[in-house]
Amino acid sequence: DGGITQSPKYLFRKEGQNVTLSCEQNLNHDAMYWYRQDPGQGLRLIYYSQIVNDFQKGDIAEGYSVSREKKESFPLTVTSAQKNPTAFYLCASSIDAGSGTEAFFGQGTRLTVV
Amino acid sequence: AQTVTQSQPEMSVQEAETVTLSCTYDTSESDYYLFWYKQPPSRQMILVIRQEAYKQQNATENRFSVNFQKAAKSFSLKISDSQLGDAAMYFCAYSHNNNDMRFGAGTRLTVKP
């Protein structure tokens, strides 16, 4: 089955630690995205990548980093510089970044700082 | 920057009845795309319906239809013959290019049996 896989589903992090969220897609999509979802705020764009080895900051990139070494993979690292990392994180992909096509989403990762 | 506003944090509807969810947006672009996504309790985002701004005809997908008013920058979702499985968070989204897809804060829809 084609789709987007995020892992883990739940993640706990101690303050001061970096943590990496995994996102893998087998849809052969060029574009991939990371969103953060907080209650009452909808989805906010963290980073996006239109092609391998290229990525751009979204609205709330501070405290986050990404890489895009393979077309299928777009991991997100939440660094210790992110002051309020507890949230639900969604990864998405689309065929490309310019045609207004549907974005397909993973099932999300719930990150909690303990 | 483009913004998307959903003014109804919560809505409820009786099973088999019709409900309309509101969405307004702000943009200076003339060519863009609008979406409604559904997020059930599983939190999996699912596309409900998509509208291209250059098309005057309102999009329809089975029981779901939109009322797209370009001049008013309004994009409401009508759900007909509501079913229990329609209960979810609904997000309105705007995209000029996919890399700037903007979402509203969401409307939680409850369906009463």
Per-residue pLDDT of chain A (114 residues; tens, 9 = 90+): 679 999 999 999 898 899 999 999 999 999 999 999 998 778 999 999 999 999 999 999 999 999 999 999 999 999 988 889 999 999 999 887 666 778 899 999 999 998
Contacting residues for A17 by C-beta, under 8 A, at least 6 apart: A80
Phi, psi (5° rounding) for residue B84?
A: -60, -30
Size of interface A-B (CB pairs under 8 A): 62
**Residue in A45, A112, A104 with CA at minimum distance from that of residue B1:** A45
Please give the torsion angle defined by the CA atoms of residues A106, A57, A41 and A97, in that order, rounded to the nearest 10 degrees.
-50
Type of residue found at B64: F
Flag if A102 and B44 touch (Cβ within 8 Å). no
Give the model's pLDDT for residue A95.
Answer: 86
With b for 16 or more beta-carbon neighbours within 10 A and e for fewer, the B34-67 pattern comes to bbbbbbeeebebeebbbbebeeeeebeeeebbbe
Chain B residues touching A99 at Cβ < 8 A = 98
Question: Is the CB of residue A112 less than 8 Å from the CB of residue A14?
Answer: no
Judged by CB atoms closer than 8 Å, whether chains meet at B99 and A31 is answered as yes
Inter-chain residue contact A99 with B32, CB threshold 8 Å? no
